[in-house]
Amino acid sequence: MVDASIVHLQRHGQVENPDGVLYGRLPGFGLSELGHEMAERMGQYWADVPLTHLRCSPLQRAQETIAPTAARHPDLSITTDERVIEAANEFEGMIFGRDNAALRDPRMFWAMRNPLRPSWGEAYADIAKRMRAAIIDAAAEAGPGGQALVVSHQLPIWIARRSAEGRSHVHDPRRRQCTLCSVTSFTVREGVITSVTYAEPVVDLLPVSTTGRKFRVGT
């Protein structure tokens, strides 16, 4: 039997975004000071892991997140993959304000007509398709018994996981299990995803809300 490969999908670190913009695919949104600390911690986390392939979203926050890990694996080059980019969103560039008040603007109602697709952005089914293809390709590049690290974004990672687990793509965004710099790992054998696991290596660095609880979702 051919040895399985493991593809680790890691979410990027915290982004510098004091105005609360829904930044999506917009350029110019890099990591905050805390985000860089998270990225450096992840570099340490992966330092002794025998990674055989590195892959990353083209967006700045993802590229900055993978950099400390890549520095510790100088024998590996980074493959930039458009398929693991953030999901497209019609609300990109908007500021939603306290309690997402902007969503109650009647001008937004048409965009929100079908939350099952969703109508305001890239279809969940399309996200699942591109992410699965990227995972299978990363596994092939990692080789049998190898491990690939892919730095991506919350929604694509979450949809990839739900798809691999045979669950509906429709979900409550507030309940996504995909914190900053979390790692969702896919075991792949002969082009088939056979299992998924989840870890939060920097849980102690996650921002704390005014109620004292760790933020476990976010943008």
Burial 170-180 (b: 16+ CB within 10 A, else e): eeeeeebebbb
DSSP structure class, residue 73: -
Cα–Cα dist 152/127, whole Å: 12
What Cα–Cα distance (Å) separates residue 46 from each residue in 2, 35, 49? Answer: 25, 16, 5
Q: Is the pLDDT of residue 5 over 50?
A: yes
Q: Is the pLDDT of residue 210 over 50?
A: no
pTM above 0.85, yes or no: yes
Q: What is the pLDDT at residue 102?
A: 67
- As a residue count, the chain comes to 219
Q: What is the pLDDT at residue 93?
A: 86
| pLDDT, greater one: 102 or 22 | 22
Cα–Cα dist 160/169, whole Å: 9
Cα–Cα dist 157/128, whole Å: 9
Would you state the structure tokens that stand for residue 72, as one six-digit string? 């510790």
CB 65 within 8 A of CB 12: yes
Q: What is the pLDDT at residue 209?
A: 55
Q: What is the pLDDT of residues 142-186, one digit of tens each?
A: 999 999 999 999 999 999 999 999 999 999 998 999 999 999 999
Domain coordinates of the chain in residue numbers? 5-89+123-205
Q: What is the pLDDT at residue 98?
A: 65
Q: What is the pLDDT of residues 71-94, one digit of tens each?
A: 999 999 999 999 999 999 988 888
Average pLDDT, the chain: 91
Q: Is the pLDDT of residue 112 over 90?
A: no
Q: What is the pLDDT of residues 29-73, one digit of tens each?
A: 999 999 999 999 999 999 999 999 999 999 999 999 999 999 999
DSSP structure class, residue 82: G
Q: Is the pLDDT of residue 219 over 80?
A: no
Q: What is the pLDDT at residue 84?
A: 98
Strands (E), the chain: 5-11, 53-56, 78-80, 147-152, 183-189, 192-199
Q: What is the pLDDT at residue 211?
A: 36
Determine whether 154 is exposed, middle or buried from the number of CB atoms within 10 Å of its CB (0-12, 13-18, 19+).
buried
193-199 mean pLDDT: 98
Report DSSP letters for 99-113, one per residue.
GGGGGGSGGGTGGGS
Give the helix/strand (H/E) hosting 140: helix 124-142
Q: What is the pLDDT at residue 95?
A: 85
Which CATH number applies to 5-89+123-205: 3.40.47.10, 3.40.50.800, 3.40.50.1370, 3.40.50.1240? 3.40.50.1240
Give the helix/strand (H/E) hosting 126: helix 124-142
